[in-house]
Amino acid sequence: MYALGVNHAYHESAACLVHDGRILAAAEEERFTRVKHGKAARVDNPHELPVNAIDYCMEEAGITLADVDHIGSSILPAKRLRNSLFTDRVAAGDWGGPGGETTFYDHLQTVPARLREMGFQGQFHWLSHHLCHAASAYYPAPFDRAAVLAVDGIGETASTMVALGESTRLSPSVEISYPASIGFLWEKIAKYLGFSEYDACKVMGLAAYGDPAPYRDHYRHILKLLPDGQFSLDNDVLRFRMDDYSGLTDLFGLGPRPPHGGMSSDYADITAALQAATDDVMLHLARHAARSLGTRNLCMAGGVALNCVANGRIAATGWFDNLYIQPAAHDAGTALGAALLIWHHVLGGPERDEMRHAHYGPHFTEADIEAALQEHGAVYKRVDDIAGEVARLLADQKIVGWFQGRMEFGPRALGNRSLLADPRHPAMRERLNRVVKNREDFRPFAPSVLAEHARQWFDIPTPSRASDFMLIGYRALQPEKIAAVVHIDGTSRIQTVHADLNPRFHQLISHFHRITGIPLVLNTSFNDREPIVCTPADAITTLHRANIDYLAIGDFLVEPPPTGPGHSAAMSTR
């Protein structure tokens, strides 16, 4: 029985194929189209399907859409239409207004017919957005009973769900409706700070440079914690559905920061207070889930579950023995959740497929790779021990693009589509931010650490699967030795690497450990202001335009072109 989940209503368009409960393939549309987030979230485009991601899933399984029995979409159009009934400040014809919501609804209604035109003959399902988030976190987790938190911007009318997972069933316990939305709060503050609504990662990085105290009470004015896990936000101040920052200007006594303008300490303090307020809400929700559902296992999804600081605060409480966070916690993960909901809720399938890794994307043969290298006129050589060769280059302060195996599903590069560097020297962080990634100096980098050595380098009270996916922050125990991957607050968002799950990446870090005595490497996504690379051609193109010293792709080591920005005079380890 094949079940295909698709996410297309807002952003992070994606597809996931499940066969008899086993995850076969999952990918985000942006990796194929090279358009970040797949598409913008607009009222006039929810019918634009992730056709490339769908095609990939079919190719991976060796089937066509005619062979798919069920397709699920992670949105309930009729429930979403209720947004037009809310009392709200809205722009004419846009989100929340009758015209905009009707446009969104009407376009969604064309989706089943579009899938039929693509060859689908099976049964189509509209599914709850937050239940899909919850399913993406619970069903792949190694627990038969768990509390589940799904926290994001908005699904249909809700921003947050608390649910109980038992065996193969999910039962919602609490739903919190718009405008009480932590996800929207982060989007609004990000835009107030001169970033885009997609720049939560920048805001989280900046927060560590500020002091929450000066603005802590300002957030308490607009955010209230209520009984039974509930909370509220004052939308008279926030005005989520308008590009209006007058309420925030009055609240903080400070106007919006112009894009690319200076970053004063006041803005950093506002951001620090936002993180503190978010910690409060997430702890409030987690405490309620622990007390009301009577389980010491917690699963998390939704865009807010990508906040590694809040995740670390939850893990440190001791309320839960086990924490599992879906690696594709943002909206792309609802494609996985939709497929699993069909298998378990609609079809009653009992088998569950534990998701111990996130490598469900495209992969390429050595012949595919060499053909791409030759087509691009690359300077390359085949290496007998690519892991050992790259470890020596990293120890020699080189930056290496690492392209191996199947692409990761989700926003984190987890050792298959990564840029790697030496974590020991703080100058490496500056070089990567300014010269390679072309991003702000305050952005941190993460370490990928051998799982068997992680607790010697980081304060990990209770090991968690979340660290396998780079989704939780821990205090570094020897920060002076790994300065390039320790944030200003003394923490690192680590990825623990296991020999049985990613043997080649584990071998690389093991080689680096033998050379340097450090059992970890700096790992950041293989991209330059673009989606993470997907194909060999993407990797070669990024190598040519970015300041990267080498590309390790399959068993091949590639130099930039002689005139390229990342050119090295020679391969020092030939």
450 membership: H or E segment, kind and range: strand 446-450
- The CA angle 141-146-149, to the nearest 5 degrees, is 90
Q: pLDDT by residue (tens digit) across 114-140?
A: 999 999 999 999 999 999 999 999 999
> What is the CA 114 to chain-centroid distance, rounded?
28
> What are 264-276's pLDDT values in tens digits?
999 999 999 999 9
Task: Work out the pLDDT band at 563, boundaries 50, 70, 90.
Answer: low
- The pLDDT tens digits for 450-489 are 999 999 999 999 889 999 999 999 999 999 999 999 999 9
- Mean pLDDT over 322-344 rounds to 98
Residue 260 burial (CB < 10 Å; 0-12/13-18/19+)? exposed
Checking if the pLDDT of 572 tops 70, the result is no
Q: Is 18 exposed, middle or buried (0-12, 13-18, 19+ CB in 10 A)?
A: buried
C-alpha distances in Å from residue 355, one per residue of 25, 339, 450, 466 = 12, 14, 19, 12
CA–CA dist 199, 196 (Å, integer): 5
pLDDT classification of 60: cutoffs 50, 70, 90: very high
CATH topology for 177-325?
Nucleotidyltransferase; domain 5 (3.30.420)
- β-partners of residue 474 are 492
Active-site residue 19, yes or no? no
Q: Which fold has domain 2-140+328-346?
A: Nucleotidyltransferase; domain 5 (3.30.420)
Assign domain 366-559 one CATH number from 3.90.420.10, 3.90.870.20, 2.60.40.10, 3.10.450.350: 3.90.870.20
State percent of the chain over pLDDT 70. 98
H-state helical runs in 397-464: 426-431, 454-457
DSSP string, 122-149: SEEEE--HHHHHHHHHHTTSS-SEEEEE
Torsions phi, psi for 271 (to 5 deg): -70, -40
Q: CA–CA separation, 204 vs 563, rounded Å? A: 37
156, 176 in Cβ contact below 8 A?
no
Q: Are 542 and 533 in contact (CB under 8 A)?
A: yes
pLDDT, tens only, 417-440: 999 999 999 999 999 999 999 889
Q: Would you say the CATH fold of 366-559 matches that of 177-325? A: no
Residue from 11, 37, 487, 506 carrying the catalytic annotation:
11
Contact assessment for residue 339 and residue 25, using Cβ atoms and an 8 Å cutoff: no
Domain ranges of the chain: 2-140+328-346, 177-325, 366-559
Dist CA 179 CA 158 (whole Å) = 8
